[in-house]
Homo-oligomer: A and B are copies of this chain.
């Protein structure tokens, strides 16, 4: 494994509002109070999650498509080709790291990974060509009888410590789904992708954890099985509670499905972390909510008395109302006015359209993924600040 060199990483003067958790590789999250300021998260408030040095590529960068069903076994498109030869589509969607809110699990017991707060999430408008269109142009026939068993693996230019490069995969059926909205994106919020967000081209997979939205895309392979990458096979899985270290985990990785869609989630962003030191009337509370797989949020309840009583929040979730897509990929921002007790954390719990609801207490897992409990502490502790 060559030593990783971060000297060519971009300087980041425009990201001074982010909370930097790690400099190299660069990992930084949003302040929660910034997240609820805009429905579309501006770049200065958008979390960055990298696994290695940030590549410096341009539009002459070429993507290789290969594997099962690809014409002539292999074909190539430069980023310029992708921009010129395929129709441009926009998808408004949440990008959320599987480790968002890992801190809540880490407080229970040590987890492995960057200790994200609730700011490893954002809502963006990505622009690019549909992966479906590109695959069809490369010869993939959507009438293939075994689409349901195949996968699309992505490899990145990004070098990293865990594997030769960053990699991941999604089911081919998601890629070819007319309503799956998977893009090869070259724009974010109507500007060219920045290097920190995957310039010049990244996959964006709506409704899935961010780990599947591979940046600095290099190779697309249609194959029989999931990606063999570390990040698909030995990471981003929900280990059982009793698995507490790498050695125990090594017996489990092969038995547990890799995460695709994420679960129902919400968080109180304002007041920050739901903190409320004094009893008060008519406290204005704001936060976000989202669910995976395109499921919309149907309700958010907010409590200022430790879950004894709940107030229904007002939801702002335009993508669920406009019905432009069959799925809701964008998030829901919400607000509520509540009364609070002294030294009681304000909490929220969201319900998605499938009736999934956030759990009360965290159920710990070693990798600290998909934490969505509405309490931020263990059962034995009090929920006071």
Contact = CB atoms under 8 A, between A and B. Distances in A.
Interface of A: 142, 147-149, 171, 173, 177-179, 238, 240-242, 256-257, 259-264, 292-293, 295-296, 298-299, 301, 310, 312, 323-326, 351, 353-361, 363, 369-370, 372
A372 B355 contact: yes
A357 B354 contact: no
A133 to B, nearest CB: 14
Contact of A238 (B298, B310, B358, B372): B298
Contacts of A351: 238, 363
Contacts of A372: 355
Q: Tell me whether chain A's interface is mostly helix, strand or loop, or mixed.
A: loop
A177 B173 CA distance: 10
Given A147-B178, A178-B147, A240 B361 contact: no
A357 B262 CA distance: 11
A244 to B, nearest CB: 14
Residue with the greatest number of chain B CB neighbours at <10 A, chosen from A256, A296, A298, A301: A298
A355 B262 contact: yes
Given A240-B312, A263-B355, A355-B259, A179 B148 contact: yes
A324 B262 contact: no
Given A293-B293, A295-B261, A299-B240, A148 B355 contact: no
Contact of A326 (B171, B323, B359, B361): B171
Nearest to A242: B312
B326 A173 contact: yes
Contacts of A173: 178-179, 326
5 contacts: A257-B298, A257-B353, A259-B354, A263-B357, A292-B354
B363 A361 contact: no
Please name the 3 residue pairs, one residue from A and one from B, whose CB atoms are nearest each other, closest first.
Answer: A355-B370, A263-B355, A261-B354
B354 A149 contact: no
Contacts of A369: 355
A292 B264 CA distance: 14
Contacts of A354: 259-263, 292-293
Contacts of A296: 257
